[in-house]
Amino acid sequence: MRTVIADLFTPLIELLVQPGEKPLQAKFSLYDAARLYLKTCYSAKEIENIPTSAEWLLDGNGPAVASRDPFRISIDKFAYEISRRTATDISDLPIHLKIAPLLFLKDILHEDANNSKRVASFFSKTGMPRYLTELLNDIEIDWDLLSRKDADHTLRHKLFTTLILTLVRLSLTVPGWNALAELALPEVLSHLTALKNPPKQIFIQPATVNTKDTPSFLFANSVDLVMHLCLTLCAKPKWKRISLKILDVVHSHGEMLSQLMRAEIHCHAVETASNLVQQIFNDDEVTRPVIEKEAVLRLLNKRKSDIIRLP
- List the pLDDT tens digit at each of the 311 positions of the chain: 778 888 889 999 999 999 888 888 899 999 999 999 888 876 433 433 333 334 434 444 444 444 577 888 889 999 999 999 999 999 999 998 999 999 999 999 998 988 889 999 999 999 999 999 999 999 999 999 999 999 999 999 999 999 999 999 999 999 999 999 999 999 999 999 999 999 999 999 999 999 999 999 999 999 999 999 999 999 999 999 999 999 999 999 999 999 999 999 999 999 999 999 999 999 999 999 999 999 999 999 998 644 444 44
Would the CA dihedral through 213, 215, 216, 222 be positive or negative? positive
Note the pLDDT of residue 2: 76
C-alpha count within 13 angstroms, C-beta hemisphere, residue 266: 3
| 3-class DSSP assignment, residue 2 | helix
Contacts of 27 (CB under 8 A, 6+ apart): 16, 89, 100
Indicate the DSSP class of residue 198.
-
Give exposure, 189-198, as e/b (b: 16+ Cβ within 10 Å): bbebebbeeb
Note the pLDDT of residue 39: 85
pTM, entire model: 0.89
Rg of the chain over CA atoms, in angstroms?
A: 20
Angle at 158 between CA 184 and CA 254, to 5 degrees: 50
Contact 189, 249 (CB under 8 A): yes
Nearest-angstrom CA–CA distance, 66 and 70:
9
Let me know how long the chain is: 311
Nearest-angstrom CA–CA distance, 304 and 256:
19
Note the pLDDT of residue 46: 40
